[in-house]
Chain A
Amino acid sequence: MTATGSGQAAADPTDLDLVRLAQAGDLDAFGELVERNRRAVFRAALAAVGSATEADDVAQEAFVTAWCKLSGFRGDSQFRTWLLSITWRKAIDRRKRIGRWLKLAATPSRDEAGDDQFDVMDRVPSFERRQDVVLEGAELQAQIRKLIRTLPHKLRESLLLAGSGEHTYDEISAMLDAPVGTVKWRVAEARRVLRRKLAACGYSNE
């Protein structure tokens, strides 16, 4: 049993096994950790900075930083969660520096609590819907993407991270430093705001 178990560990080492090897200076082990987590790291960065190129740079910086701080990782939490927290901080720093993602975004007039807390409706570009256009296609998708960009930071980040398909609510909670319940509320609130804006544009009866 023991031999089988160790053989399995050697064949498919866990993240913690790889972390221990990497802490001993094994770059290949760290490379395997990069390979396993690259997509989650990249998409977390993408949710924050909104640009694939910037997200790629952030992911690279996050992995390098993780390598430098690896000696301080004691295994109290999942390596992936720890890595995503580093990534998120890097991404937020990058977003503050370059300020690209929110050029089209509106600044909320109040906090995100309440129904009428956003003044982004004033910034939604009005357009006349043509009766002869079928809206189930690219037009609705483009409109929704545009509206997502006008969401407040916290709602947008929660919605994008939850919709990335790479992160659990626990991981999102750790990244955003917010309880899981708050994250779920933000996702639901983001959907509700989007539906309301789409209704204001005439896409639904809500």
Chain B
Amino acid sequence: MSSNERFSRRAIDDAIDRAVGDMMQLDPHPGLRRRVLSRLERSSRPRTLWTWGSWEVVSAAAVLMIIVAVVGGRWRQTPVEIAQTPTAPVALSAPVAPSAPVAPLAPSAPVAPPVPASRPARNAMARSEAIFGPRRDRVSAASAARLAAEGEPVDIVPPVHEQDSIAVAPIVMRPLPQMQELRIAPIEIQRLTVPALSPPR
């Protein structure tokens, strides 16, 4: 072996020192101070939505989704309330005594037409249009008269105005007759006799 192949311990130590020095004699990238200070200034500013960290945005979005899910679930579970029109309280008429004579009909007595209870306007459904066109076999008053003139059998219904008018006698309130005293017969208990059963076979 030549002398170049072997190194003294001192030479090896020097080589190790040089190698370590080469590995460690590095400097940070220029502008470290500026980068650090700019980061600190950024962090000290009031934070806006765009400067939030990703985890903060994600957690805020998660909370928002949970709130929406809870509120939406409650909204779906709420039963649909059917709008009921308030009905006027029914005025119960006084009981009519069976023995009370009914007043004779007074045809001349004017009958006040029933006043319809005021109701809130309903949402009228849209009338369906005749999508198949006008019906040809529809019988109308005009066509019935024409058919009768032509000799076709047509059941002609008498007009409504020829019917007798219905008169309703006014309800007359009469005092109730005095009720008689109720008497309840005493209950008689009769002895029950049961015949003896025969033993089973």
A27 contacts across to B, CB distance below 8 A:
37, 40-41
For residue B64, give the distance in angstroms from its CB to the closest CB of chain A: 29
Q: How many residues of A contact B (CB 8 A)?
A: 44
Contact of B18 among A134, A141, A206 (CB under 8 A): A141
Does the CB pair B24–A56 fall under 8 Å? no
Does the CB pair A59–B28 fall under 8 Å? yes
B45 contacts the other chain (Cβ, under 8 Å)? Answer: no
A194 contacts the other chain (Cβ, under 8 Å)? Answer: yes
Total A-B residue contacts, Cβ distance less than 8 Å: 112
Q: How many residues of B contact A (CB 8 A)?
A: 34
A206 contacts across to B, CB distance below 8 A:
9, 12
Does the CB pair A64–B26 fall under 8 Å? no
Does the CB pair B5–A135 fall under 8 Å? yes
**Chain A at the B interface: mostly helix, strand, loop or mixed?**
helix
Does the CB pair A42–B27 fall under 8 Å? yes
Binding site for B on A (CB under 8 A): 27, 30-31, 34-35, 38-39, 41-43, 46-47, 52, 55-56, 59-60, 63-64, 67, 129, 131, 134-136, 140-141, 144-145, 148, 159-160, 163-165, 191, 194-195, 198, 202-206
By Cβ-Cβ distance, the 10 closest A-B pairs, closest first, are A163-B20, A144-B19, A42-B28, A164-B24, A63-B36, A34-B33, A38-B32, A56-B29, A204-B7, A31-B37
Binding site for A on B (CB under 8 A): 2, 4-9, 11-13, 15-29, 32-33, 35-37, 39-41, 43
